Amino acid sequence: MINDKKVLYSGMQATGNLTLGNYLGALKNWLTLNEEYECFFGVMDLHSITVRQDPAEFRKRARNLLALYIAAGLDPVKNCIYYQSHVSAHAELGWILDCFTYMGELNRMTQFKDKSAKHSDNINAGLYTYPVLMAADILLYQADYVPVGKDQQQHLEITRDIAQRFNAIYGDVFTIPEGYYGKKGAKVMSLQDPSKKMSKSDENVNGSIYLMDDVDTVVRKCKRAVTDSDSEVRYSEDKPGVSNLLEIYTACSGKSIEEAEKEFDGKGYGEFKLAVAEAVNSVLEPMHKEFDRIIKDKEYLDGIIKENDDKARYFANKTLRKVRKKVGFTDIPR
């Protein structure tokens, strides 16, 4: 607990381009959390290198992600928005916790199996121990809550197991985190295959709307979105493409599904898809303007990075000092 507030921790990887799904499903819901929680939001660049990165492009993406956090509305004064790689305690605690994690636990991680199948030419140890570094991320800040989707549930469970095991040996060192299940974010699926989530790594670029897509690109992608042979705008299991567009439209316009269905009653898919594109652009255009302002102001962005990195280091090192003492490492002479 910090300043009488419970701590909430989350972050996104500095790979690929953030999608509308990332924004509506997660980032948008982060915006009001600082009123109730002490929030830490990381640019998770240590996690990103389990897949080979082009160094110059990687640096640019990481900076863009941090700027996008702010452009999307995250206040860098009320929230701690920082680079994971700038806080060396992440890597150090990750190694210590490796020694308190069992092979059997890591073997059960389904995400390792999924990623290994996608990157069969680079099945590295980092990919395997990824959940332990994630545990270190969360436990360093004594997080009470972690926003989790279905795909992250396993990682939260192993984090809790590692923390409880460490505490059982050394006493009350780590806060045991719980999943945060606040307001449900919109579940945004691929525009080309509504059975799959909209993804940064989708090979079909028309399947995802990226946060930095311009107005014309958004219109083009929405026009090409998969629907069905019917022409009725209705939310239904047997109409996954139309239902996905309705989710996007209502999340961007603030209308309910019922209001949207009534609005497009008797109208064709062409008019509906154009309205979806307009609703999306009404969200993205202000974000683009703010992003351009932030990314061009090097002094402002560097100042935010330094201030937030310092804050993150302060809280992370506080926990790390306690851990080092518990495991018996020799103090560093001062």
pLDDT exceeds cutoff 70 at 119: no
Q: Based on the domain organization, do 171 and 257 belong to the same domain?
A: no
Greater pLDDT, 1 or 327: 327
Q: Is residue 200 part of a domain?
A: no
What local confidence, expressed as pLDDT, does residue 144 receive? Answer: 97
**Coil, helix or strand at residue 238:** coil
Question: Does residue 155 sit in the same domain as residue 304?
Answer: yes
Q: Find where tokens 């898919």 sit.
A: 269
- Average confidence (pLDDT) over 20-30: 90
Residues 262 and 152 in one domain: no
Asked whether residue 186 is domain-assigned, the answer is no
Mean pLDDT of 29-51: 92
Is 191 among the domain residues? no
Of the candidates 5, 6, 187, 200, the residue annotated as catalytic is: 200
289 carries an active-site annotation: no
Q: Is residue 42 part of a domain?
A: yes
Percent pLDDT > 70 in the chain is: 96
Q: Decide if 210 is inside a domain.
A: yes
Same domain? 165 vs 240: no
- Mean of all residue pLDDT scores within the chain: 92
Would you state the pLDDT for residue 170?
97
- What was the pLDDT predicted at 116? 64
Distances (CA, A) of 302 to 85, 121, 305, 306: 15, 36, 5, 6
Average pLDDT of 31-36? Answer: 88
CATH classification of the domain holding 67: 3.40.50.620
Instruction: Out of 115, 221, 239, 273, pick the active-site residue.
Output: 115
Domain presence at residue 47 = yes
Residues 230 and 103 in one domain: no
Does one domain contain both 27 and 172?
yes
What's 275's domain CATH number? 1.10.240.10
The pair of structure tokens assigned to 74 is 């995250």
Residues 159, 28 within the same domain? yes
Mean pLDDT score, 102-107: 90
Q: How many domains, in total, are found in the chain? A: 2
Beta strands in the chain (DSSP E): 6-13, 37-44, 80-83, 145-147, 178-180
Please check whether residue 113 lies inside any domain of the structure.
yes
Q: Which of 28, 197, 221, 239 is catalytic?
A: 197
Domain that holds residue 221: 205-292
- Residue range 133-190, pLDDT digits in tens: 999 999 999 999 999 876 678 889 999 999 999 999 999 999 999 999 876 667 899 9
Identify the pLDDT of residue 15: 82
Same domain, yes or no: 175 and 110: yes
- What is the model's pLDDT at position 34? 85
pLDDT band of 16, cuts 50, 70, 90: confident
pLDDT category at 290 given cuts 50, 70, 90 is: very high
Task: Clarify whether 325 is annotated catalytic.
Answer: no
For 105, the token pair is: 């636990």
Higher-scoring residue by pLDDT: 182, 104: 104
Q: Judge if 168 and 249 occupy the same domain.
A: no
Same domain for 176 and 58? yes
Q: Determine the average pLDDT of the residues in 62-88.
A: 96
- Low-confidence winner among 121-130, 168-177, 294-303 (lowest mean pLDDT): 121-130
Residue 108 has pLDDT above 90, yes or no: no
C-alpha distances in angstroms, 188 versus 87, 179, 207, 253, 298?
32, 21, 11, 15, 33
Q: Are residues 151 and 49 in the same domain?
A: yes
pLDDT tens-digit series, residues 206-227 = 999 999 999 999 999 999 999 9
CA gap 87, 314 in Å, rounded: 9
Q: Under 8 Å CB-to-CB from 8, ≥6 apart: which residues? A: 33, 37, 38, 39, 40, 143, 144, 145, 146, 147, 180
How many other C-beta atoms are found inside a 10 Å radius of the C-beta of residue 228?
13
Is residue 1 assigned to a domain?
A: no
Residue pair 250/256 in contact by the 8 Å Cβ criterion: yes
264: its two tokens: 């497009």
Per the annotation, the verdict on 115 as an active-site residue is yes
Q: What is the mean pLDDT of residues 72-85?
A: 96
Q: Are residues 99 and 153 in the same domain?
A: yes
pLDDT of residue 110: 79
